[in-house]
Amino acid sequence: MVSSFKPSDFSRAIELGSPKSHTTGAGLNITSFVPAYSLHFKQQKRTLTQQYTLVGTRLDNSITIIVRHDARNIEQKQARLDGIIYDISDISPDDSNNAIRYDYLTLIKVTKGA
C-alpha cells in the first residue's frame, strides 16, 4: 500500500479502547467503553461504486479511517469519535517495511439493545 498523506490530513483525534463490564451500585451489570489511547486519523472517502456495493450489507453505515501504524491497534475492540462509540469491525494493518506505515480501521456505530 503506497500512500502519500500530508500530516495536515490527520487533523482529528479518535480514542481506541475496549468495552468493560462493571456492576453499578444498584447491582446492574453494564458495559461501557474504556479508552486505552488516542490517535490522529484521516477519514477514508468512498467512491460511489464502493458505497453502492455496501448497500444492504452489515457495512452499509460503516466508516473507514486511516491512522499511523501502531501494534496496539489490533488489540482494540471499540473506538470513540465525537462522543459516539463504534465497534472496530475490521483492521487492515500495514505490514510493509516502509518507514511510515498506516492502518485502515472499519468502524460500525454501536446500537444499544441490538
Q: Indicate which CATH number applies to the domain containing 28.
A: 2.40.10.270
Range of the domain at 80: 7-109
Q: For 48-98, how does the pLDDT look when each residue is reduced to its tens digit (9 = 90+)?
A: 666 656 566 665 678 899 999 999 999 999 999 999 999 999 999 888 888
Pairwise CA distance, residues 93 & 90, whole Å: 10
Q: How many domains does the chain have?
A: 1
pLDDT at residue 1 tops 70: no
List the single range of 2-11, 26-35, 63-72 with lowest mean pLDDT.
Answer: 2-11
Q: Is residue 2 part of a domain?
A: no
Q: Tell whether 78 is covered by a domain.
A: yes
In a domain, 1, yes or no: no
Q: Give the Cα separation of 19 and 102 in Å (integer).
A: 24
